Structure 1
């Protein structure tokens, strides 16, 4: 599995490099250089804008008592679009633009919500998966216990 992921990432990187070289041959050497520089700047602006926007949406959702899952997913997708802009290459820029278009963004958000939500939950409830580990006093190093503390056993 790890080898497959590395192979796909390596192949995409080579294809991005091939496309940059080909566009340099077709449009001149300055076009790919300018595209990489503009993509880097667009990535920074996108990350800054979507970060501030998603923080405001999450704050508004918490004030109204909603879960804010849509705002969080929107912030994640905006951040991911910014990272794709920063990566040098034309395919990553196209993918970032697709993530910023509202129609395709709603499709990706719906896919993430559909695959991330369990069907047996009550509407509006939040479930955080985790694992609890009991700490036994015998394994802890000896410490001075405070008998007045409500946390002591």
Structure 2
């Protein structure tokens, strides 16, 4: 897991710089700057909307006595997606939007659940329940 994270931290910025330079040569640097600012603003707005909806869903599930498992995973995806959207670059923006838009978030949540389940089976992660 640490190796994948390290690889991600090293490769993604290099790819982002290459894409930003290529896009700057193709459409012009001012358009690239405008796109970066625009995706940041749209991402912040979308993260706020999705975050507020997730908080409402969390409150509704807690008031009805249900465990808000999916809502907590939604909140984590929205948090990561919003944070990633604030970093400049097209790859991170695509990842952020995938995590923020509900139809694309659903398969990602299934993948996260599958990974966590495998880690629990292997004993590499432990979840304590009270």
TM range (shorter): 0.7 to 0.9
Question: Who is 1:150 aligned against?
Answer: none
Distance in 2 of aligned mates of 1:3 and 1:63: 41
Gaps of 5+ in 2: none
Larger Rg, first or second structure (1 or 2)? 1
RMSD of aligned alpha carbons: 2.5
Contact 1:84 1:96 in 2 (8 A): yes
**How many angstroms does 1:92 deviate by?**
0.9
Gaps of 5+ in 1: 120-126, 131-153
**How many angstroms does 1:100 deviate by?**
3.2
**How many angstroms does 1:4 deviate by?**
6.4
Tell me if 1:49 matches 2:49.
Answer: yes
The runs of at least 4 aligned residues of structure 1 exceeding 4 Å deviation read: 1-4
Contact 1:46 1:81 in 2 (8 A): no
Question: Who is 1:140 aligned against?
Answer: none
Distance 1:104 1:43, change over 3 A: closer
TM-score (norm 1): 0.68
Question: Who is 2:28 aligned against?
Answer: 28
**How many angstroms does 1:8 deviate by?**
3.4
SS of the residue corresponding to residue 66 of structure 2 reads coil
TM-score (norm 2): 0.79
Question: Who is 2:63 aligned against?
Answer: 63
Tell me if 1:74 matches 2:74.
Answer: yes
**How many angstroms does 1:103 deviate by?**
3.5
**How many angstroms does 1:25 deviate by?**
0.4
Distance in 2 of aligned mates of 1:35 and 1:46: 16
Question: Who is 2:111 aligned against?
Answer: 111
